[in-house]
Structure 1
Amino acid sequence: MEPHIQEQKTDYRSLGVSGLGGWLILIQIGLFLTIILLAVQLMQNTLPALTSEMWDVFVSKDSEYYHVLWGPLIIFEAIYNVVFLLFTIYIVVTFYRKKAILPRLMIVYYSVSLVLYTVDYILVLQIPMMRELEDGSGIQEIVKSVITCAIWIPYFIKSERVHNTFVR
């Protein structure tokens, strides 16, 4: 007869650092700033561009600012901003509930941000007027996103605090 082996559950929080402190404070600040910046972007740029008057300026063939990609670009940015705002709010809720899925959500969040910044930049460069106005800020955003991914994705994979905090 085999002896009955009782399975033990490990309380990861007792093994080392845990909680929403440490470097996770920077993540919290970043998430709240992202929510604010996306809301401002929507209110100041995206929603005004969707009004019939502004829409006609960019997509009417009679307009001096017309380009075939303006419509798709404006719609892409509107959808991106709304979806990312909602996704960021979901991440904040998940963060404070200390859900085990949070590290994966953050990896997706940073990766998708990089891809979408890059796609947006490529689309913007296809419009001659926007290409002329490009001052390097688009490339700077992509570089910042690459650096962010290089720092925070490994952090969410390897951090003891992350592993011990997001276990539910």
Structure 2
Amino acid sequence: MNDNNETKGLGGWLILVGLGVVIAPIRMLITYIPIYKPIFEDGTWQALTTVGSEAYHPMWGPLLIGEIAYNSILVVALTYLVYLFFSKHYLFPKVFIAIILVSLVFIPLDSWMVTRIFPSEPVFDPDTTKEFLRTLIGGVIWIPYMLVSKRVKATFVEKAPEKDTQPTAESVA
């Protein structure tokens, strides 16, 4: 049997990746809707962003809009990742890695922005530390897997651009 056929398909360690990929957008929605929805329903947004209010800080608006935009884009990207995974699309490993790397930049950046509003708060509070370490450990494990796994290389091949088999002027010279 061909080694490529043995490692092709959504099996092996990719089952764990698939579980994580399917759970991730659901987890995001369950986590962030209850956090952000009340801000716009209970007057918190007005209190935080209205000049002269006791809770006002000029960074609240940009921070909340940035977080909501990032998390919304992340939910869309994670949903797209589910599609890429199950369609075995060649872009899956690249998008998977990109999402992890962007998250590793955003988490401390967002936390640092919070310290602009609350200077006495640590950049890495317990929740931020937990989320960052979860993402970092996942990245340390799964990024190398995406880059070197024979199964990944054999499975995520759908809709890949055709390799040009015609000799070009540069390849002939």
User: Where on the TM-score scale, by shorter chain, does this alignment land: which range?
Assistant: 0.7 to 0.9
Aligned to 2:27: 37
Q: Kindly indicate whether residue 138 of structure 2 is the aligned counterpart of residue 148 of structure 1.
A: yes
Q: Kindly indicate whether residue 36 of structure 2 is the aligned counterpart of residue 81 of structure 1.
A: no
Aligned to 2:12: 22
Structure with more contact order per residue of length (Cα contacts < 8 Å, sep ≥ 6): 1
In the alignment, structure 2 segments of 5+ residues that lack a partner are 159-173
Q: Distance in 2 between matches of 1:154 and 1:113?
A: 17
Q: Deviations over 1:127-164 (max 9, x none)?
A: 218827x7422122222222221111111000111111
Q: Cα–Cα, structure 1 residues 118 and 135, in superposed 2: closer, same or farther, change >3 Å? A: closer
Q: Deviation at 1:53?
A: 1.7
Q: Distance in 2 between matches of 1:84 and 1:68?
A: 25
Tell me the secondary structure at the aligned position of residue 163 of structure 1.
helix
The letter of the residue matching 1:165 is: T
Q: Kindly indicate whether residue 123 of structure 2 is the aligned counterpart of residue 124 of structure 1.
A: no
Q: Distance in 2 between matches of 1:154 and 1:142?
A: 18
Percent sequence identity over aligned pairs: 33
Aligned to 1:107: 97
Q: Distance in 2 between matches of 1:12 and 1:80?
A: 41
In the alignment, structure 1 segments of 5+ residues that lack a partner are 1-10
Q: Deviation at 1:57?
A: 1.5
The letter of the residue matching 1:142 is: F
- Superposition RMSD on alpha carbons, in Å? 2.3
The alignment's TM-score, normalised by the length of structure 2, stands at: 0.80
Q: Cα–Cα, structure 1 residues 57 and 41, in superposed 2: closer, same or farther, change >3 Å? A: farther
Q: Is the 8 A contact 1:110 1:145 kept in 2?
A: yes
Q: Deviation at 1:51?
A: 4.2
Q: Deviations over 1:45-100 (max 9, x none)?
A: 12332347221121123332222211111101110111111111111011101011
Q: Is the 8 A contact 1:59 1:68 kept in 2?
A: yes
Q: Distance in 2 between matches of 1:127 and 1:32?
A: 35
The alignment's TM-score, normalised by the length of structure 1, stands at: 0.82
Q: Is the 8 A contact 1:49 1:74 kept in 2?
A: no
Q: Distance in 1 between matches of 2:44 and 2:103?
A: 27
The letter of the residue matching 1:55 is: W
Q: Distance in 2 between matches of 1:24 and 1:46?
A: 33
Size of the alignment, in residue pairs?
157
